[in-house]
Structure 1
Amino acid sequence: MSLTNASPADAAKAAKSASLVLSTLSAAARNEALDAIHAGLTAARDDILAANARDLALAQAAAADGTLSQSLVARLDLSRKGKWEDMLKGILDVRDLDDPVGRVTLRTRLDDGLDLERVTCPIGVLLIIFEARPEVIANIAALAVKSGNAAILKGGKESTESFVAIATVISAALARSAVPNAAIQLVTTRDVIPQLLALDHDIDLVIPRGSNDLVRYIKNNTRIPVLGHADGLCAAYLDPSVDATLAAGVIFDSKTGYPAACNSLETLLVHEAALSTHLPTIATALAVKGVELRCDPQSKAALSDTPNLTLLDAVESDYTTEFLSLTLAIKTVSSVSEAITHINTFGSHHTDLILTGSTDQAEQFMSAVDSAGVMWNASTRFVDGTRYGFGTEVGISTNKIHSRGPVGLEGLMIYKYKVRGRGQVATSYGEGEGQKRYLHEKLALD
C-alpha cells in the first residue's frame, strides 16, 4: 500500500497497471502478502490504537458541538469491544478461503476441438470512499489482494491518523511481498473525490462506506458502477403467533447490539393482535438500554400502562428514517401482507425480519419482501460478511445486479470466456447447406 499524494489520474493509472500484475500472481503469493499484513498490524497494535485514540478525541469534541454525528464516532472507535480482534481475524479468514481467481464455472464443447470455458477473474480497480471506519483499510486490502483487484482508498478526515498508521504498516508489509505497492493506495490529498469519480477509464467499481449522504452523492456524480447501499432502513414484523420471549430477545439484539450499524433495526411493525400480548414485553426489554419508542396511536395506547418507557408520538417521517441510535419507530398493521407492502414501499431493501411461529407465513414474507436480506426469528445483526463466512466484507449491497447483500470475495469477481480452437472460423457454422452444426455439449467442470 502506498500513501500517495499523486494526482487522482496518476494514482488510477498506477493502480490499473498494478492490477494487471496482481491478477496473475499465484494464490500462494497473494496469501503470503496477507500473512505479512496480519503480522505487521499485530506488531503495530499499540501505535495504531494510540493514533485511533487521537482521532477519537477530536471526533468526540466535534460530536459535542454538533459538527459530527454520534454514529460516526461509534464507527471510528477501533478499541470498541472485539473490533480490533475482528479486523485481524478477518484477514486470516480471507486468506483461508478458496482462491476465487481462475475458477471454471462453465465448460462447453462447441465442436470437436473447439471448447468454451467461463472463468472467474478480478474486476480490476476498486475505488473505496469511506467515512470513519478505519478497519475498512485492512478489510479492503485483504479482500483486494486475495481477489486480485487493485484498490484506491479515500478516507474521511475524521479518521486521518488511524488510517495513515494502518496504511503505513500495510505498505511495509506489501513491500516484502510480490504484490505491487501501487495495488493498494491510500490517497491522502484532500478534496479529490470529484476527480476520482470522473476516472471511469481506469477505475472499474466504486464502493462507498459511510452515511447515506455520502452514498447518494457518489451515485449521483459518477459514471463508474457503484456497489453499496444508501440507507439501512431495517424493519421487523411481529406476529402474535411467535413466542413473546423469543421475539423480545431478537428485537433487543437487532436494535441495541450496535445501533450505529446499517443492519440495526429501525422500524417495528406490530400486528394489532400482538399489541397487548407481546409489545409490552418487548418494550420493557428495550427500556433497559434506554431505547426511545416513537409510536403510532394504537401502539402508544397498548404501552400506556407499562412503566419506565420513553414514548413519543410518531410522525410519518419516522418510518423512513435510519436513526442509527437508540430510537425505534413502531407502527400497527393488520396482517403480514400489510407489513410486506409497508416494507416494499418505505424500506431501503437492505434487511428485514419476520417474527412468527408460522412456517407458511415466514416463507411468504421471505419470498415477497424485496430486500437483500430477509430473516425469520433471527437478528438483523447476522447480516455481515464475517458472520456469513465470507472472511470480511467490502460492504452491503442493495443493488439488483452483480452482487447483493454482504459482499465478500465473490462480489469482487467477474468472469471472462476462454475459447480454445484448432483454426476454426465462425463462417463455417450455421444452418445453411454445407455448414457445420454446433455440438453445444456440456462438459464436466472437474
Structure 2
Amino acid sequence: MTIIEQIKAAKAATVELGTLNRMQKDRALIAMANALDDNRGAIIDANRMDLKNAEESNLPQAMYKRLVVDNAKIDEMVRGVMSVVALPDPVGEVMDVTELDDDLTLYQIRCPIGMLGVVFESRPDVVPQVMSLCLKSGNCVAFKGGSEAANTIGALFRILSEAAESAGTPKGAFVLLESREDVSAILALDEYIDLLIPRGSNSFVRYIQDNTRIPVLGHSSGICTIYVDKEFDETKALEVIVDSKIQYPAACNAVENIIFDRGTNPAFVSKAIAALRSKNVEVRGDKRIRAIVPDAIPAKESKWDGTLKVDGVVVDPDTHHTAAIRRAVADVVPEGQSDWDEEYNDLIVSVGMVDDLDDAIAFINRHGSHHTDAIITTNKANAAKFAAKVDSADVFVNASTRFADGFRFGKGAEVGISTNRIHARGPVGMEGLMIYKYVLIGDGQVVKDYVGKSARPFKHTHPDKEYPLR
C-alpha cells in the first residue's frame, strides 16, 4: 500500500476504534506494555544501531541524549502505558445535558478527534506515549519519526502495533511513515488527517506549522525561566534551580534563564551559581551578575533600555513588533539571537538580574516561549500576581520547571506540550485528543412550534440525567 492508501485505511478505521469499549482498549494496552517488557533486547539492539549512526554523523548532543533508549527508559515506557490503563475511558462521557423542553434533551458527548499525525525528532519514546493515549481515546494515528531514530522507532512501532492488533484493535489503525518524502506527503493530507502534532526543535516545529493546512498542536521552543523573588527560602530556591537545569537538560521544560530580584543577597547569587557550576553547568551572566561573579561568561543581550522611538514616537516593543523596531535594535543584538531567547537543551544557563516583580513578568513575557515559567517566593501576593500575569501554559510557584509533563500531571502520558491558546494548552493528555458531538433526543418535536407569536418557550434547564443510548 502507498502512504496515502495507508492513511485512508487508518482514517476509515477511526469509526471502529472509536467505538471499542474500555475493556477492549485496556486489554490492548496491557498487551502493549507486556510486549515492551518482553522485547527489551530487540529494542535496545535497534537503538544501538541508531546511536552508532548518530556518533558517526556527529548528531548534536541534545538530540543524541533524547535518542538513547536503555532499560530504565523502557521501564518508563511500560509505566507510561500502564498508567493509561488506569485512566477512565473518555469516549462517550456526558459533558453537559440541556433540557430544551419536555422529552427534548440535548446531550454533549465527548468523542475522538479522529485521525492524527505525529511528526517528531529523536525521541523514540514518543511512539508508546502517543500510541497508548490514542488507543485509549479512540484516535488512529500516523507516525513520522526522524531518520536518526529510524531503527528504534521501527522496532517500537512493530512491537506495539502487533500487540494491539493481537488484542483486537482494528488492523491498520496505526501507521508508520519511514521515508523523508513521507513528511511532505503527510503535510498535504488535510482531507484525511484531522490534527498534526509535531515534536522537535524550534525550526522543525515552525517548518511543520508553515507548510500545512492541517491544524497543528504544539510548541516551537521551550525557553523556560525561573524568577527568584526578593522574599524566598534559600534552601528551596537552590533545590528548584538545580533540579530545573540538570535533572534532564535536553528536555523542553528544563530552565534556560534564571533571573534574580535586585534585592537578592549577592552571597546567595554566588551560592546558586556555584551550585550550578558544581554540576558542570556553564553560566552566562548579564552585567549585574558579573559584578557579583566576575568570571561568569558575558551573556549576549540587548542594550535596549525598554524605551524606543520610531519616527520620533515612543513605542512599546512588547506590543509593536514592527520592522522599524527590529531595525532599531538590529545593531545591538540580531532579533532572536540574545542568550535570553536561546533554548540550549544543554548544561548552559543564562543568569540575569531584574529590578522587581513587574520587570520579571515583562522579561518572561518578552523572552519566554510561553511554555513553563516559575517563581521562587514566600510572598503569597507576589506569587498570585506572577501566576495571573505570566502568559505561559504552565506557571509554577516554588517548584521545578521539570514538573511540566503529562505523566507527572497525572495524564498517564502526553502527546506533547502545547503553547497554543485554543483547544489544549500545556502537557496534552487524552483531553487534548478529544472533541465532542451533540446528540438531541426528542419525541417528534418540530421547530415551527417554537417560533411566532404563540411560540412554545424553551426550558433550557440542566438536569442530572443519564444518557439513554448506551
Counterpart CA distance in 2 for 1:11 and 1:367 is 46
Instruction: For residue 423 of structure 2, give the secondary structure of its aligned residue in structure 1.
Output: coil
Q: Choose which of 114, 122, 127 in structure 2 pairs with 1:124.
A: 114
Q: Which residue of the partner structure matches residue 436 of structure 1?
A: 456
Q: Which residue of the partner structure matches residue 19 of structure 1?
A: 14
Q: Choose which of 400, 408, 420 in structure 2 pairs with 1:399.
A: 420
Counterpart CA distance in 1 for 2:371 and 2:194 is 24
Q: Choose which of 158, 166, 180 in structure 2 pairs with 1:168.
A: 158
Counterpart CA distance in 2 for 1:175 and 1:98 is 21
Q: How does 1:8-407 map to 2 (within 5 A)?
A: 8-63=3-58, 68-79=59-70, 82-274=72-264, 276-304=266-294, 311-316=297-302, 317-407=338-428
Counterpart CA distance in 2 for 1:445 and 1:293 is 59
Q: Which residue of the partner structure matches residue 408 of structure 1?
A: 429
Q: Deviations over 1:181-220 (max 9, x none)?
A: 2111111233221221111111000001111111000000
Shift of 1:275: 5.2
Counterpart CA distance in 1 for 2:465 and 2:101 is 17
Instruction: For residue 150 of structure 2, give the secondary structure of its aligned residue in structure 1.
Output: helix
Counterpart CA distance in 2 for 1:298 and 1:26 is 60
Shift of 1:420: 0.3
The one-letter code of the counterpart of 1:62 is S
Counterpart CA distance in 2 for 1:445 and 1:145 is 28
Instruction: For residue 243 of structure 2, give the secondary structure of its aligned residue in structure 1.
Output: helix
Contact conserved, 2:299 with 2:339, CA < 8 A, in 1? no
Counterpart CA distance in 2 for 1:445 and 1:415 is 18
Counterpart CA distance in 2 for 1:375 and 1:277 is 25
Contact conserved, 1:104 with 1:445, CA < 8 A, in 2? no
Counterpart CA distance in 1 for 2:273 and 2:300 is 15
Contact conserved, 1:72 with 1:132, CA < 8 A, in 2? yes
The one-letter code of the counterpart of 1:73 is Y
Counterpart CA distance in 1 for 2:368 and 2:134 is 31
Instruction: For residue 266 of structure 2, give the secondary structure of its aligned residue in structure 1.
Output: coil
Contact conserved, 1:97 with 1:391, CA < 8 A, in 2? yes
The one-letter code of the counterpart of 2:50 is D
Q: Which residue of the partner structure matches residue 3 of structure 1?
A: none
Coordinate RMSD, CA, aligned = 1.3
Shift of 1:249: 1.0
Counterpart CA distance in 1 for 2:206 and 2:413 is 24
Shift of 1:312: 3.3
Instruction: For residue 181 of structure 1, give the secondary structure of its aligned residue in structure 2.
Output: coil
Shift of 1:160: 0.8
Q: Deviations over 1:214-259 (max 9, x none)?
A: 1000000111110110010001111121122211110000011111
Q: Which residue of the partner structure matches residue 306 of structure 2?
A: none
Shift of 1:310: 5.2
4+ residue runs over 6 A deviation: none
The one-letter code of the counterpart of 1:37 is M
Contact conserved, 1:314 with 1:329, CA < 8 A, in 2? no
Instruction: For residue 192 of structure 2, give the secondary structure of its aligned residue in structure 1.
Output: coil
The one-letter code of the counterpart of 1:320 is D
Shift of 1:27: 1.0
Counterpart CA distance in 2 for 1:324 and 1:212 is 11
Instruction: For residue 278 of structure 1, give the secondary structure of its aligned residue in structure 2.
Output: helix
Contact conserved, 1:94 with 1:142, CA < 8 A, in 2? yes
Contact conserved, 2:277 with 2:283, CA < 8 A, in 1? no
Counterpart CA distance in 1 for 2:383 and 2:165 is 51
Contact conserved, 1:106 with 1:445, CA < 8 A, in 2? no
The one-letter code of the counterpart of 1:17 is A
Contact conserved, 1:94 with 1:146, CA < 8 A, in 2? yes
Shift of 1:82: 3.2
Contact conserved, 2:37 with 2:74, CA < 8 A, in 1? no
Runs of at least 5 residues in structure 2 that lack an aligned partner in the other structure: 303-337
Counterpart CA distance in 2 for 1:196 and 1:233 is 28
TM-score by length of 2: 0.89
Counterpart CA distance in 1 for 2:160 and 2:238 is 43
Runs of at least 5 residues in structure 1 that lack an aligned partner in the other structure: 1-5
The one-letter code of the counterpart of 1:395 is G
Moved more, 166-175 or 48-57: 166-175
The one-letter code of the counterpart of 1:420 is I
Contact conserved, 2:290 with 2:296, CA < 8 A, in 1? no
TM-score by length of 1: 0.94
